[in-house]
Every structure is written in C-alpha cells, then in structure tokens.
Amino acid sequence: MNVMDFVSALSRCGTFTEVPRRERWRWMQEWRGVYASALHEATGEWKHGRHDWHVFSFGYTHGLSGSKARHAYSLERPGSLLVIPESEALPAGRLDANLLPDLFSLNQDVHVFPPDLSWTMSFTHEMSAGIGPYFCRRETSMPQD
C-alpha cells in the first residue's frame, strides 16, 4: 500500500493531520499501557511477536473479533481519532472524523482509537484469513477467566 492511498482513504472520512514520530511512539505506548498490560504482566514485554494486535489474537487481552468487532466499531461515534499503522512506512495521525474510517480492505495493521483510549479497533493484514479485526473497550480489556 502506498502512502497516498492510505491518506486518501482517511481523508474521505474527515481531516487527517500527520503526527511526528515521537508523538506516534508516545500514543502507542499509551495504547499498550491500556491494551497490552496483561501481556506485559505475564511476559515483561509490551508486544507479542511482530504485531501489537497479537495481544488479542493470543488471548492476553479480551476483544471482539471478526463480524462482532465490525459491528461494535460501527456503533462508535466519529470524532477525534488517532490512526496509527504498525508500519512506519505509513503516516500516523489525528483524524477529525465525520465518518469512522473503513480500513477493512486495506490489509494493513492499523489501530484506531479516541485520545481517551476508551476503545480501540485493530485492523489486521490477516482479516481476509479470518484473523481480526479486533475491537476492545478499555473496561473489558482484561482476559476472561
């Protein structure tokens, strides 16, 4: 995927403003503090393997997946969102959204969440194989016993 296609997909939903690399890193660290805390507690690591969304697929954090995740995401209100791809080749930024970004067809690992981290949608490059996307609310992010 090229940068122009990615930014164009986001711009159809509102105003996208790229954030500097340092801010991108800070936001992902905050995301991990909420959604990867169980992984960190269990392993000492903030990331399982190569992808942040593995916290969901390996069960460290409870999240909805597949069609349930899509439905929960569709119920969220657009507004100020952070859009952070795992690939450094794609820009991360703030989206002042009139519509929730539809990133299902991009086959990219991208996290979308509001600045208060009350929920997150993690799109994966493996959605076509039935792995993801994942949706999680902050208050339900702990694994179920």
Q: What is the DSSP secondary-structure string of 111-124?
A: EEE-TT-SEEEEE-
Give the pLDDT confidence score for residue 18 in this predicted structure: 96
- Two tokens at 103? 């990133």
Give the pLDDT confidence score for residue 129 in this predicted structure: 86
Grouping H, G, I as helix, E, B as strand and the rest as coil, residue 86 is coil
pLDDT digits (tens, 9 = 90+) for 61-92: 999 999 999 999 999 999 999 999 999 999 99
Give the pLDDT confidence score for residue 140 in this predicted structure: 74
Instruction: Determine what percent of the chain is predicted with pLDDT higher than 70.
Output: 96
Give the pLDDT confidence score for residue 144 in this predicted structure: 47
Listed as ranges, residues in the chain with pLDDT below 70 are 1, 141-145
Give the pLDDT confidence score for residue 20 in this predicted structure: 97
Give the up-direction half-sphere exposure of residue 22: CA atoms within 13 A in the CB hemisphere.
0
Phi-psi region of 68 (alpha: psi -120 to 50; beta: other; left: phi over 0): alpha
Give the pLDDT confidence score for residue 104 in this predicted structure: 86
The letter for the amino acid at 105 is: S
Quote the pTM value. 0.93
* Long-range Cβ pairs for the range 85-90 (8 Å, 24+): 85/6, 85/109, 85/110, 85/111, 86/51, 86/52, 86/53, 86/110, 86/111, 88/21, 89/3, 90/1, 90/3, 90/6
